[in-house]
Structure 1
């Protein structure tokens, strides 16, 4: 009888082995992500539900829609990256439709309908497969997978590990509560009110919160678990894929993808100064869910615009996709659109100059971007209150700057220059350009790509000008805009996809065709070693206030000397070893990238030590300066489960330190988050009227009085001096149905027990229902 099994080396078996090898890195990444989430205490059932949601409701329909509108990129990993971005946008459209029509409970049907269309319509079935496969090298998959694992480690170290799931007495960064409350609000309406000041419209870039709301609604996982555990990992991994694809598309070389992803993820800062901690700039800041969410959209739009800049036809589907992704990027982070607009404007001007003809398509894209800005600004212009122009305002928040310029004035105030500089002599004012230079050196891996415009081949490509314009716009925003809460930093963050791609492109243009890996790795290793040696043994470790010049300048002089000596030795070596010819600049660029490797290693070593010491994951929470108790979380969770979603809650908690006083930091948002209900008046620090008063009466925005004194009077009297008439006014005038009273915040009048119904009581907190 004929043997029906495939021989050991048959084409079918070789194909199966090849598929297994290509799938293995992605399987390992998924396994590592799941294991890490289990390690930090994520419920297994929630992991399963969210995993099914991410694959079936985001990636699969997203890939199908992406291929239908733009076509496949020829390989599954990049299709999955762009598909995930598209899938999120499609789900947001479904969320708006379902919640806006009162059918939010049936939102889970939306992605199934999208999939059903691609099954039922014959002309769309072809998008289930890649018609013309152009697989990337297997080493690309392993390198990207390694970077993904590093990104998961970083998230676990800085976000998941330190923050246990409720209920547990713990300190959580206030902005996380703010976004948590927004997500809860957006489960019931597409026209949200301020969760901390019920009845006032929420003018903020809240699309990332709407995504988390939709993810909770479709997956069936509660917002606390989605917020604190599940949403970040898949979005960051998507960013890695899309940034890598953007770099490959720009540089037209496969290995630029892993280089760009490495620059974007692994090098948030290069610190060679023992006494100066420069700002980290990262695509996964644990303190800004909006920035993390926006990054893959910025990268995806940039990839579409590269084709536009190069004169390639993207078709009607490409324009529809680009408009949809641009809208989500704009409404997710206010720094996204200005960065993209900067790239379009510079690319348009450069193309017009180089080709001596008007770039109509680029100008149309620019006009469309301006139209998106005009349409969205009235509804989503959050973060703009209290913003203006000031050179170097971001450094007025840095401790090293304040150690020299003085701490007597409020950061984020003043005219063309930070207020602090007016009171110090000219010699001390040089601290501003000094820290600015050090900040840029600490981000050298993201700025090196701008030197690519000195090369004729890159200068002739409009895509280079597009990416350079995005980088310049991002850094201009960071260095020239003044924001009350140092929000101008996010412009540089939003430029990371472009800056990483441009640096990788420059490296590819400089690297010799042969010995590429040796040249690049040699430069990276040399940069890492030099960065480590300067930080460990170099100058700059004196008391900062008196010796700031040597502390900042000394390491820079050592770095310049090392580069100069290296250049001389390279030139001499090239005379002896001809193989070095043509690789010097590539080694130098790789050296600049590698300069930050030691900083990342030191940060990761600190995390590894915390794990070894049993501090991560923090299952018992951290009771630091301000905290929420386990009992308070349980009471809030009870209210979230038992109160109708449209009910308004009043609370006596307004202050970050919980205890209420007239000059407290009124930046408390945890009641609206944990109760998942809008609150009559909680913390008002982020209200536009409060932000615009930053610096008035010598007070920062977060110590300003309530923007609605009458509302606060009625609210607080309900707890300190309640009357039947006062509680009735809260109920009838503002729709308040519940009181969430915390005796750590202020004294609770005993007569409240007779005027309202006690529904839940636990140690420091009592929940009342108004009659």
Structure 2
């Protein structure tokens, strides 16, 4: 087995003392990794490959409607006002030796946290200048103090093989199909009618709320609090405020091209920090972007990024930085203010994506149990970190969510009804639900397959006495189990599993490399055989059963074929007496290959072109409606309240899909009542399935006042609306409206699809 190159804490303290620095006290007497011998033959850092990949993504964004100036200035804004101070902060606190990838990924996590705080201040005060100046002041303060400047300058960057940079850059290509599909559906402008993805105008409305007014109110409903994980929206607002790009361009074009780089750099950085091995980093990135989970049929392969959910990928740097801080603390490395950093990253991750920090709490809890069994001297430090993360989550629940759970409810029966077998067969029979539970749990755990195999090793590094491995596996288990017991509007409970993928992939990469270093010829042959049967287990079921809704018999056929093929190789390993570790390794290899094959198939399939959109198409928005909302954004005061007569995505039907957010999203103005879908009150009252999407509005009197005035205006209604703060009126002509609102309002804009009026003061 190749040497890992470790040094005791004593040796570490002597080394730091000889360098003329006062060594920090370490928390535990555990060997700290020595990085001096790991990359002796390595040259470069792989940066040019990443730069080339990023330029290609930027070129596609420009070809899809974003101006070249906006792409350039948005990139510069992230680099100057977020990365620059963030990297300084990270280099100030991290151990002296690290990597360029780590400085970029975890420096972004620091800069992201800083941008959220700054944008809150700038938004509340309505000052664009503060968005620009405050990050530079933070950077200047760090560089102005001799001690902090010296610490930043002394932080060294270890080289890595150039091929690692190439692997990381190429792995971003797996996001290309989803970016293309997203760009095709969500345009920046158009003629005729288009049907953008349902959530994008909700995300845009939230972003403009943070840009123009700060985190004070729900922009789509009056008197509703901003109880949501809104940190990503503050980041989007900060990029828009510090560049020439609009919030529309940042959300719909820039964020999707940045997201893949944040994910791959964060995973590579965590792998390097945990092991110092380029091979682990390459495998971790590959499994994150292409491994997904076990897939014996269509549709299971996934990655921890999705342009339709901007909060998912943006949360990854803070999530993995949190793990890196814990690992360095547990290993006694020279990190500054570890508990403060841990609390900050836990808070930021929770405020960016609510499905992140709970995973780390579950991972720490499992780690504490494992350490009590195998390494009791580690139990205290793990317990302290667990307490810090729990405290950070509780603070986020108060400060960010205000006690709201966003409709997350403990309901195993409802959760299992959304599982693959139940949704495919449209059956709620108990045996179908049980199969669904087993399938969901197995696919979720399979992301960390080789991590579980590593538990067979009795080692403090990549073995069952390694607290970091237990933490990664505990988070994976939590991510796999959460969709079994929780239900949330829009099946958002599955984000727990997606958020766990980088942690699971890191665990698998660590376990696979540890196994590789202890390999023998027989094990290698078994792994190759397992890979072949894994490929067959993915391919054969979809040849027997076509894609689409399944009957109960077809579902059992799919699972039986895949399961039998997956079981062949471990049985063969057991027959030849290969040992428990080899049997587990063959299972892990076969399972992971099914996910990789599924991912490759999905990523290389032809993308469907958007079909023609007519006015009656579900979710259709006309160019005239869009233009009227844009007029509002240019002429209405940023704090002005707007009313509208459209609240439903569809034009016909008795049940209203209340996820209509276009006016607030494009204008950036707060609404009296637009769409009430996703609002905290509705989500809490109707948490199951699509209930919150089609639930009636809670204040029917307000809705009657709003719609009644636009359909039949009266002086009393005009006065009541004025007293509520309404100053502008947006009329969608596809809904009932009066031919004129005079004398109560003055016309400002009109086309064949929409009108804009300005409400007159009742006193005049």
| TM-score category, normalised to shorter length | 0.7 to 0.9
Shift of 1:30: 2.2
Out of 397, 421, 442, the position equivalent to 1:377 is 397
Shift of 1:400: 4.4
Q: 1:738 — aligned with what?
A: 728
For 1:522 and 1:219, the matched residues in 2 are separated by 51
Shift of 1:762: 1.4
Residues 69 and 756 (structure 1), Cα distance of their counterparts in 2 relative to 1, 3 Å cut: same
Shift of 1:223: 0.7
For 1:63 and 1:209, the matched residues in 2 are separated by 21
Q: 1:361 — aligned with what?
A: 381
Q: 2:640 — aligned with what?
A: 647
Shift of 1:42: 1.9
Out of 238, 246, 259, the position equivalent to 1:214 is 238
For 1:581 and 1:199, the matched residues in 2 are separated by 61
For 2:201 and 2:712, the matched residues in 1 are separated by 29
Question: Within 5 A, what are the aligned runs for 1:533-572?
Answer: 533-538=539-544, 544-564=550-570, 567=573, 571=576
Q: 1:339 — aligned with what?
A: 359
For 1:475 and 1:503, the matched residues in 2 are separated by 15
Number of positions where the alignment pairs a residue of Structure 1 with one of Structure 2: 713
Residues 655 and 201 (structure 1), Cα distance of their counterparts in 2 relative to 1, 3 Å cut: same
Q: 1:238 — aligned with what?
A: 262
Residues 130-150 of structure 1: CA deviation (Å, up to 9, x unaligned) = 644421222221211111233
Specify the SS of the correspondent of 1:757. strand
Residues 313 and 359 (structure 1), Cα distance of their counterparts in 2 relative to 1, 3 Å cut: farther
For 1:248 and 1:335, the matched residues in 2 are separated by 25
Alignment RMSD, CA only? 3.3
Shift of 1:739: 0.7
For 1:520 and 1:54, the matched residues in 2 are separated by 47
For 1:191 and 1:647, the matched residues in 2 are separated by 16
Q: 2:650 — aligned with what?
A: 657
Specify the SS of the correspondent of 2:497. helix
Shift of 1:397: 2.8
Shift of 1:166: 2.3
Residues 653-690 of structure 1: CA deviation (Å, up to 9, x unaligned) = 1112145x652111211221111111101111223332
Is 1:112 the counterpart of 2:136? The answer is: yes
Residues 708-744 of structure 1: CA deviation (Å, up to 9, x unaligned) = 1221111111211111221121012x11011111021
Out of 151, 160, 164, the position equivalent to 1:140 is 164
Shift of 1:546: 4.4
Q: 2:18 — aligned with what?
A: none
Q: Is the 8 A contact 1:540 1:551 kept in 2?
A: no
Residues 444 and 377 (structure 1), Cα distance of their counterparts in 2 relative to 1, 3 Å cut: closer
Residues 754 and 19 (structure 1), Cα distance of their counterparts in 2 relative to 1, 3 Å cut: farther
Q: 2:418 — aligned with what?
A: 397
Residues 38 and 397 (structure 1), Cα distance of their counterparts in 2 relative to 1, 3 Å cut: same
Out of 110, 118, 132, the position equivalent to 1:94 is 118
Q: Is the 8 A contact 1:163 1:621 kept in 2?
A: no
Q: Is the 8 A contact 1:542 1:551 kept in 2?
A: no
Specify the SS of the correspondent of 2:185. coil
Q: Is the 8 A contact 1:391 1:480 kept in 2?
A: yes
Out of 669, 673, 676, the position equivalent to 2:661 is 669
Shift of 1:374: 2.4
Shift of 1:367: 1.8
Q: 1:431 — aligned with what?
A: 432
Residues 700 and 331 (structure 1), Cα distance of their counterparts in 2 relative to 1, 3 Å cut: same
Q: 1:160 — aligned with what?
A: 183
Out of 720, 723, 738, the position equivalent to 1:729 is 720
For 2:612 and 2:59, the matched residues in 1 are separated by 16
Specify the SS of the correspondent of 2:482. helix
Q: 2:696 — aligned with what?
A: 705
Residues 187 and 431 (structure 1), Cα distance of their counterparts in 2 relative to 1, 3 Å cut: same
Residues 521 and 107 (structure 1), Cα distance of their counterparts in 2 relative to 1, 3 Å cut: farther
Shift of 1:513: 5.5
Deviates more, 1:759-768 or 1:594-603: 594-603
Q: Is the 8 A contact 1:534 1:558 kept in 2?
A: no
Out of 718, 734, 746, the position equivalent to 1:757 is 746
Q: 1:351 — aligned with what?
A: 371
Q: 1:37 — aligned with what?
A: 61
Q: 1:200 — aligned with what?
A: 224
Q: Is the 8 A contact 2:711 2:737 kept in 1?
A: yes
Q: 1:471 — aligned with what?
A: 476
Shift of 1:211: 1.0
For 1:699 and 1:163, the matched residues in 2 are separated by 23
Residues 46-69 of structure 1: CA deviation (Å, up to 9, x unaligned) = 111112112222222211111012
Residues 378 and 167 (structure 1), Cα distance of their counterparts in 2 relative to 1, 3 Å cut: farther
Q: Is the 8 A contact 1:524 1:593 kept in 2?
A: no
Is 1:630 the counterpart of 2:623? The answer is: yes
Shift of 1:629: 0.9
Question: Where in structure 1 are there 5+ consecutive unaligned residues?
Answer: 1-17, 407-420, 422-427, 575-579
Q: 2:277 — aligned with what?
A: 253
Q: TM-score, normalised by structure 1?
A: 0.85
Out of 744, 749, 756, the position equivalent to 1:767 is 756
Q: 1:287 — aligned with what?
A: 308
Q: 2:79 — aligned with what?
A: 55
For 1:523 and 1:296, the matched residues in 2 are separated by 36
For 1:621 and 1:749, the matched residues in 2 are separated by 24
Residues 620-676 of structure 1: CA deviation (Å, up to 9, x unaligned) = 9999522111111111111011110000000111112145x6521112112211111
Q: Is the 8 A contact 2:639 2:669 kept in 1?
A: yes
Q: Is the 8 A contact 2:86 2:111 kept in 1?
A: yes
Q: Is the 8 A contact 1:434 1:552 kept in 2?
A: no
Residues 519 and 285 (structure 1), Cα distance of their counterparts in 2 relative to 1, 3 Å cut: farther
Q: Is the 8 A contact 1:66 1:72 kept in 2?
A: no
For 2:530 and 2:216, the matched residues in 1 are separated by 48
For 2:243 and 2:516, the matched residues in 1 are separated by 47
For 1:456 and 1:21, the matched residues in 2 are separated by 34
Deviates more, 1:491-500 or 1:23-32: 23-32
Question: Where in structure 2 are there 5+ consecutive unaligned residues?
Answer: 1-41
Specify the SS of the correspondent of 2:417. helix
Q: 1:9 — aligned with what?
A: none
Specify the SS of the correspondent of 1:626. coil
Is 1:297 the counterpart of 2:321? The answer is: no
Specify the SS of the correspondent of 1:752. coil
Q: Is the 8 A contact 1:681 1:712 kept in 2?
A: yes
Shift of 1:300: 1.2
For 2:93 and 2:229, the matched residues in 1 are separated by 26
Q: Is the 8 A contact 2:441 2:481 kept in 1?
A: no
For 2:93 and 2:456, the matched residues in 1 are separated by 36
Specify the SS of the correspondent of 1:210. helix
Out of 456, 465, 480, the position equivalent to 2:458 is 456
Specify the SS of the correspondent of 1:204. coil
Residues 521 and 736 (structure 1), Cα distance of their counterparts in 2 relative to 1, 3 Å cut: farther
Is 1:185 the counterpart of 2:209? The answer is: yes
Q: 2:344 — aligned with what?
A: 324
Question: Within 5 A, what are the aligned runs for 1:303-322?
Answer: 303-312=324-333, 314-316=335-337, 318-322=338-342
For 1:518 and 1:241, the matched residues in 2 are separated by 30
Residues 23 and 521 (structure 1), Cα distance of their counterparts in 2 relative to 1, 3 Å cut: farther
Q: 2:7 — aligned with what?
A: none
For 1:54 and 1:756, the matched residues in 2 are separated by 43
For 1:116 and 1:717, the matched residues in 2 are separated by 56
Residues 202 and 581 (structure 1), Cα distance of their counterparts in 2 relative to 1, 3 Å cut: closer
Q: Is the 8 A contact 2:113 2:348 kept in 1?
A: yes
Q: 1:415 — aligned with what?
A: none
For 1:553 and 1:309, the matched residues in 2 are separated by 42
Specify the SS of the correspondent of 1:645. coil
Shift of 1:383: 6.5
